[in-house]
Amino acid sequence: MARRRRGLYGFKSFSERGAWVELLFMAAAVFHGYRVLKPWGEVFPYDVAIEVMGRLLRVQVKSTTFKTAKGYRCEFHCSRRGRQSRYRLGEMDVCAAYVVPEKVWYIIPAHLVTGRNGKAQVTLCQVESFRNIPRYEQYRERWDLLGKERSELARM
């Protein structure tokens, strides 16, 4: 029996796990009452679109299994011309991050993790301590954010 790489949870590659997480997200979004569209191909900087009252919200879907002392680290970057880079502000509206071992979603306004001022790495399912107040816990299972206007998300 072949050894499996850490963090893959039985998948052959991170790409395969990513496709599975996108399917999980789309199923969960439909369950929460949203209309889901999947762009064809890999040419867009987002994975899924949500239609609400005739407008589209662009969603980038990520996952993590990387446990640290403080929680799970999730990285929001992409590959451009073979190099890792940050997502640009305006390429998406929402980032959905799935913490695989905990089976929990974070729906985060994109401006918090994109562009020059965004955090390309965030800690999710964060353990609270006297020095450390969990920054992203307010976005845990925030499916209601998928129904917000882009301008509303930008003010959060």
pLDDT confidence of residue 112: 92
pTM > 0.85: yes
Range name among 60-64, 71-75, 82-86, 140-144 with the lowest pLDDT average: 82-86
Q: Where are the domains of the chain?
A: 14-154
| Average pLDDT for 125-152 | 87
pLDDT confidence of residue 95: 96
Distance from C-alpha of 141 to C-alpha of 97, rounded to nearest angstrom = 10
Condensed to tens digits (0 to 9), the pLDDT of residues 4-35 reads 555 667 888 888 999 999 999 999 999 999 99
Average pLDDT along the chain? 88
| Average pLDDT for 123-131 | 77
pLDDT confidence of residue 29: 98
CATH of region 14-154: 3.40.1350.10
